[in-house]
Amino acid sequence: MKKSLKSWRYPSILLTSIGISSIGDWIYFIALNLIVLNLTESALAVSGLYIVRALSALFINFWSGSLIDRFNKKHLMILLNLCRSILIVALPSFSNLGWIYILVFIITATSSMYHPTSMTYITKLIPIEQRKRFNSLRSLLDSGAFLTGPAIAGFLFTLGTPNTAIYLNAIALFLSACITIKMPDVEGHEQLGFAHGKENATLYKIWLHDWKMVIHFSLKNAYVMAVYLLFSATIVIMTATDSLEAAFATQVLALSEGEYGVLVSIAGVGVLIGSLTNSAFVEKTSTAWLIGMGSIMTAFGYLLFTSSYTFFMAALGCFLLSFATAFANTGFYTFYQNNIPAESMGRIGSIYGFFEALFIIILTAVFGLTAEFISIRFVIVSASFVMVTVAIILFILTICPSKATLYQSTSPR
């Protein structure tokens, strides 16, 4: 028992850091929208934030993997959180929209670097036997942040201004950095940096070499990357569909703002219940089924929501898709950590993340234009059918008996 508890010491500290950071991110996200809206009184200016965030993710994912894989992950995580904290503290001092966009661009860039860095660190820190449990607990924390973050932000808004919430997020990120200082150095005596016997290599040559490495790995591990791409495709479609969610609920279903708020709350409850259920049964469910069935249930939830004509059906669809997301994410993260080499995870995750962000921008624009000229329901129902098709292919791929070893959650003997 003592040995079991001791083995969870550092994972528990890391989960605490992730939880604090996640809650802070939600507070920042809501407060930032209000700050820009209060400053400009323009919905278009708020939409500009989303464009800036997407462009920032594109810019950073194009090259950041080369840096992540060559630097100490623990130190980089601390540095990124401290940078985000300082930049966020400075944010309320600016009243010029252009400067706010520039700061948001840099803050989003550091956040985009933090995710693949933390994923690599988690993979190196957590033994393969504990990863599925760790990912289920992380999903539970994320769902808790999804519910508590906006609630805390709303409470802070009643006490003061959105700036108060912004400062709280900065404190949360600073605390997360301080907690990370107590974590072990997973690199050990590994040789890091850009040299590796290529002192005369230019950054361009290093970057080109890294892209070739990712292409070579993808071709050599076609099955692993097929699962990755199919799961990524569902995320792209979901994100693009979400951009029309509010318009569909209010304009097509004719829900009031209050009813739409209830719908969002039901989705939050679905995420929480799904995460709790996932945590309870994760050890008894194979990783393959978590990915496959989780993705299918999520896709059918979207189809139910987009095909609905009543509040009840829409609520049922929202609950189902939110409930299933925890299972799909836990399965995918575990599969990803078990089958992508930790020493190249930053480059693979960042480069594929670049294309994911690019397709999200393109598909969101296409969905928006098509909804304008045809209809919102046509767009989101069509997208949901495509998502269901992708999820079924993913499910068939994951339950393939010949690939069962790729989903094992035990160390090779």
Q: What is the pLDDT of residues 55-70, one digit of tens each?
A: 888 888 878 888 888 8
Residues 276-292: what's their mean pLDDT?
Answer: 88
Q: Binning pLDDT at 50, 70 and 90, where does residue 395 land? A: very high
Residue 226, amino acid = A
Asked if residues 331 and 294 have their Cβ atoms less than 8 Å apart, the reply is yes
Asked if residues 158 and 308 have their Cβ atoms less than 8 Å apart, the reply is no
What are the CA-CA distances from residue 175 to residues 30, 84, 247, 362 (Å)?
20, 12, 38, 37
| Residue 139 to residue 173: CA distance in whole angstroms | 19
Q: What's the distance, CA 249 to chain centroid?
A: 24
| Residue 121 to residue 183: CA distance in whole angstroms | 10
String of DSSP letters for 40-93 = H--HHHHHHHHHHHHHHHHHHHTTHHHHHTTS-HHHHHHHHHHHHHHHHHHGGG
Q: Binning pLDDT at 50, 70 and 90, where does residue 412 land? A: very low
Residue bearing the bigger pLDDT, 199 or 216: 216
Asked if residues 390 and 230 have their Cβ atoms less than 8 Å apart, the reply is yes
What are the CA-CA distances from residue 111 to residues 100, 107, 145, 256 (Å)?
16, 6, 16, 34
Q: What's the distance, CA 403 to chain centroid?
A: 26
Return the pLDDT at 215. 93
Candidates 229, 321, 236, 330; CA nearest to 289 is: 330
String of DSSP letters for 356-371 = HHHHHHHHHHHHHHHH
Give the CA dihedral 35, 235, 243, 160, nearest 10 degrees: -20
Mean pLDDT of the chain: 83
Return the pLDDT at 116. 86
Token duo for residue 300: 């059918």
Residue bearing the bigger pLDDT, 296 or 412: 296
Asked if residues 224 and 356 have their Cβ atoms less than 8 Å apart, the reply is no
User: What element of type H or E holds 330?
Assistant: helix 311-339
3-class SS at 154? helix
Return the pLDDT at 190. 57
Count CA atoms within 13 Å of residue 201 on its CB side: 15
Q: What's the distance, CA 263 to chain centroid?
A: 22
| Residue 70 to residue 120: CA distance in whole angstroms | 12
Return the pLDDT at 1. 47
Count CA atoms within 13 Å of residue 272 on its CB side: 11
Residue bearing the bigger pLDDT, 238 or 50: 238
Candidates 69, 112, 106; CA nearest to 88 is: 106
Q: Binning pLDDT at 50, 70 and 90, where does residue 188 land? A: low
Q: Is 331 left (phi over 0), alpha (psi -120 to 50) or beta?
A: alpha
Residue bearing the bigger pLDDT, 289 or 198: 289
Of the listed ranges 126-135, 250-259, 300-309, 383-392, the one predicted with least confidence: 250-259
What are the CA-CA distances from residue 371 to residues 173, 233, 291 (Å)?
39, 20, 31
| Residue 234 to residue 328: CA distance in whole angstroms | 11
| Residue 345 to residue 336: CA distance in whole angstroms | 9
Q: What is the pTM of this model?
A: 0.84
Q: Binning pLDDT at 50, 70 and 90, where does residue 284 land? A: confident
DSSP at 201: -
Residues 131-151: what's their mean pLDDT?
Answer: 77
